[in-house]
């Protein structure tokens, strides 16, 4: 018999238990077991957890319960001030968090909405002005609303920073500090910070934000990813497309998520695969919000075989039962490998991750293996079908002389900050040029290690 407590035993009220039951959840996940009770008690929480662990319900359920007494049907906006503010680094994650809030909160009578950049702010104004208790936002667009006076943060009781490490990587920290300065005093609000990794910069931010937090941590993805079978094919860059096609068609796979490093690379590969007869879509930062959602919907409905994505665009995507993740290009940042393969093998499902590594990406592979503390199994493409005969004059050209992308320097030997310049960015992300180490989580430490260091001093407050 399992020792895991039930949702009811975690102290959740019937309105929430009913919604959780309807969502089909039978048992709380480890992060939910750890996070729900302290959040219900009103404690600040610092959580080491990634998307895919059930983290969202871990904070959404107790937040909804704490706000329940404020639910009312008054048409007056004044009766619906923002009481919970959740900041996320990407619009996709923001949308998903708010969807979760609505799913879990459907019997609470609380109002929620989401605001993010890349769409006309005018569409968002009537909803936020009408009043919502729960606001999910990306930082840049939230500041726009504050400027337009459509959002007032003076009554926020609970503040959540989700995926804080990504916020840092994407240059959002100055925006977050500006937002924090507009919240009620730290002592008067409850603060929750979630991050997959904890660098010194995240710790500094946590010190400013959190008041004697409860530290919780669930297995990091690089240990939890044991449900994902991982292998790497060592191939020439110009063989990759044929190998990908072979893998997908020989196994008749649908919903394969395929990662590349740049948005241009994503569009190009999607176009090429489509030309070769594979139902393909792409999701990246240059696409309009509507196009991204359309691509995601088609992918979720399994009406496409392959979705080509960049790391930023795929961040936080919640897609269930994904059979295969392909690293068509090895990521520049080794932690992104962990995030990528986290899209498969979720919630205990079996998953598979295949990496296609060209000779000039070996260094990137070595960095990943260093992070994983083990070597990836090397698969051989002996079943690889010969590259298809070129169909168009453009492809004929590519058959004679490899396209620029195949020959291009992968950047493995360049400083990381240079490599970052090419990576897809969230369109509503501030244009901050980072001159320090671009991926803070190089120095990441588990929460347990932090606990020892932090207990010695009282965190500063904002
Ligand atoms: P998250 O980490 O919040 O993105 O959640 C990942 C996925 O797990 C989502 O599809 C949730 O709907 C699902 N999920 C969250 N909690 C549970 C649970 N207790 N049981 C089963 N699935 C869950």
Same structural domain for residues 65 and 201? yes
Residues 35/183, Cβ–Cβ less than 8 Å: no
Secondary structure of the chain: what % helix, strand, coil (to 5)?
45, 15, 40
Q: Is 408 a member of any domain?
A: no
Calculate the alpha carbon distances from 270 to 4, 282, 319, 330 in Å.
44, 6, 19, 17
Tokens of 388: 């298809």
Q: Is 417 a member of any domain?
A: no
- What is the whole-number distance in angstroms between the Cα of residue 461 and the centre of ligand 1? 32
pLDDT at 258 over 90: yes
Tokens of 242: 């044929």
Closest CA to 260 of 322, 312, 333, 309: 309
**Secondary structure element (H or E) that encloses residue 289, with its range:** helix 289-300
Q: Is 138 a member of any domain?
A: yes
pLDDT at 227 over 90: no
Tally of CA atoms within 13 A in the half-sphere of 16 that contains its CB: 26
Which residue has its alpha carbon closest to ligand 1 atom 11?
Answer: 54
Mean pLDDT of the chain: 80
390 vs 290, higher pLDDT: 290
The pLDDT of 254-261, averaged and rounded, is: 92
Q: Is 460 in the pocket of ligand 1 (CB under 6 A)?
A: no
**Nearest ligand 1 atom, CA 320:** 10
427 vs 145, higher pLDDT: 145
Residues 195/228, Cβ–Cβ less than 8 Å: no
Amino acid 344: pLDDT: 79
Q: Is 25 in the pocket of ligand 1 (CB under 6 A)?
A: yes
Amino acid 386: pLDDT: 45
Tokens of 393: 């004059």
**Nearest ligand 1 atom, CA 27:** 19
**Nearest ligand 1 atom, CA 26:** 20
- Please tell me the distance from the alpha carbon of residue 112 to that of residue 129, in angstroms, as a whole number: 12
Listed in sequence order, the residues at least 6 apart from 233 whose beta carbon sits closer than 8 Å to its beta carbon are 243, 354, 355, 356, 357, 378, 379, 380, 381
- Please tell me the distance from the alpha carbon of residue 371 to that of residue 339, in angstroms, as a whole number: 12
Per-residue pLDDT tens over the stretch 90-114: 888 899 999 999 999 999 999 999 9
Amino acid 381: pLDDT: 63
What range defines the domain where residue 26 resides?
14-221+422-457
- Please tell me the distance from the alpha carbon of residue 298 to that of residue 348, in angstroms, as a whole number: 24
- Please tell me the distance from the alpha carbon of residue 404 to that of residue 32, in angstroms, as a whole number: 47
Q: Is 2 a member of any domain?
A: no
Which residue's structure tokens are 């005018």? 122
Closest CA to 276 of 241, 230, 323, 303: 241
Listed in sequence order, the residues at least 6 apart from 181 whose beta carbon sits closer than 8 Å to its beta carbon are 462
Same structural domain for residues 264 and 351? yes
DSSP class of residue 36 equals H
pLDDT at 244 over 60: yes
Percentage of residues in the chain having pLDDT higher than 70: 77
Same structural domain for residues 322 and 211? no
pLDDT at 256 over 60: yes
Predicted confidence band of residue 83 (pLDDT cuts 50, 70, 90): very high
Per-residue pLDDT tens over the stretch 349-371: 678 899 999 999 999 999 999 88
Amino acid 12: pLDDT: 98
Lowest-pLDDT range of 105-114, 156-165, 281-290, 359-368: 281-290
Amino acid 448: pLDDT: 34
Amino acid 345: pLDDT: 67
Same structural domain for residues 189 and 215? yes
Listed in sequence order, the residues at least 6 apart from 262 whose beta carbon sits closer than 8 Å to its beta carbon are 310, 422, 423, 424
Closest CA to 268 of 361, 359, 419, 403: 403
Please provide residue 106's backbone torsions phi and psi, each rounded to the nearest 5 degrees. Answer: -70, -20
Q: Is 69 a member of any domain?
A: yes
Residues 281/304, Cβ–Cβ less than 8 Å: yes
Same structural domain for residues 182 and 217? yes
Number of domains in the chain: 2
Residue 76's domain is classified under what CATH number? 3.40.50.300
Residues 75/92, Cβ–Cβ less than 8 Å: no
Q: Is 9 a member of any domain?
A: no
Residues 134/111, Cβ–Cβ less than 8 Å: yes
Q: Is 347 in the pocket of ligand 1 (CB under 6 A)?
A: yes
23 vs 371, higher pLDDT: 23
- Please tell me the distance from the alpha carbon of residue 413 to that of residue 418, in angstroms, as a whole number: 10
Across 341-462, the runs of DSSP E, i.e. the strands, are 351-357, 377-379
Q: Is 164 a member of any domain?
A: yes
Same structural domain for residues 362 and 438? no
Predicted model pTM: 0.60
Per-residue pLDDT tens over the stretch 400-446: 233 333 333 344 444 443 444 344 444 445 443 333 333 333 333 33
As to burial, measured by CB atoms within 10 angstroms (0-12 exposed, 13-18 middle, 19+ buried), residue 306 is buried
DSSP class of residue 285 equals T
Which residue has its alpha carbon closest to ligand 1 atom 14?
Answer: 54
């Amino acid at each position: 018999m399992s020792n895991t407590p039930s949702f009811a035993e975690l102290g959740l009220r019937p309105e929430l238990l009913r919604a959780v039951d309807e969502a089909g959840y039978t048992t709380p996940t480890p992060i939910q077991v750890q996070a729900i009770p302290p959040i219900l008690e009103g404690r600040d929480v610092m959580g080491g957890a990634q998307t895919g662990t059930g983290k969202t319900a871990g904070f959404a359920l107790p937040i909804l319960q704490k706000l329940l007494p404020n639910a009312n049907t008054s048409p007056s906006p004044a009766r619906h001030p923002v009481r919970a503010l959740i900041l996320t680094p990407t619009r996709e994650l923001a949308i998903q968090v708010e969807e979760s809030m609505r799913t879990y909160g459907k019997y609470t009578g609380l109002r929620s909405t989401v605001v993010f950049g890349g769409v006309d702010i005018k569409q968002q104004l009537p909803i936020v002005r009408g009043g919502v208790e729960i606001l999910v936002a990306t930082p840049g667009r939230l500041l726009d609303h504050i400027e337009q006076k459509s959002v007032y943060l003076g009554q926020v009781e609970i503040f959540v920073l989700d995926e804080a490490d990504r916020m840092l990587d994407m240059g959002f920290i100055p925006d977050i500090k500006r937002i924090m300065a507009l919240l009620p005093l730290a002592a008067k609000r409850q603060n929750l910070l979630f991050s997959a990794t904890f660098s010194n910069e995240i710790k500094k931010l946590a010190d400013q934000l959190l008041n004697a937090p409860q530290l919780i941590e669930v297995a990091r993805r690089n240990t939890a990813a044991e449900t994902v079978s991982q292998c790497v094919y060592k191939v020439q860059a110009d063989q990759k497309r044929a190998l990908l096609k072979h893998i997908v068609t020989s196994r008749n796979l649908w919903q394969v998520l395929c990662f590349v490093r740049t948005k241009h690379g994503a569009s190009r590969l999607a176009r090429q695969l489509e030309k070769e007869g594979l139902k393909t879509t792409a999701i990246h930062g240059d696409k309009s919000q509507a196009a991204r959602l359309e691509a995601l919907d088609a992918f979720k409905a399994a009406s496409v075989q392959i979705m080509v994505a960049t790391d930023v665009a795929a961040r936080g995507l919640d897609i269930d039962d994904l059979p295969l993740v392909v690293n068509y290009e090895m990521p520049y940042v080794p932690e992104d490998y962990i995030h990528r393969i986290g899209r498969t093998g979720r919630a205990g499902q079996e998953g598979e991750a295949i990496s296609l590594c060209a000779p000039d990406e070996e260094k990137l592979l070595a960095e990943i293996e260093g992070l994983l503390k083990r070597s990836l199994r090397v698969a051989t493409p002996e079943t690889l079908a010969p590259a298809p005969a070129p169909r168009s004059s453009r492809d004929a050209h590519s058959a004679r002389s490899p396209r620029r992308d195949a020959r291009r320097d992968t950047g493995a030997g360049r400083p990381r900050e240079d490599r970052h310049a090419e990576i897809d960015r969230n369109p509503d992300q501030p244009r901050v040029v980072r001159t320090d180490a671009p991926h803070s989580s190089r120095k990441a430490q588990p929460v347990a290690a932090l606990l020892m260091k932090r207990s010695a001093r009282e965190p500063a407050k904002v």
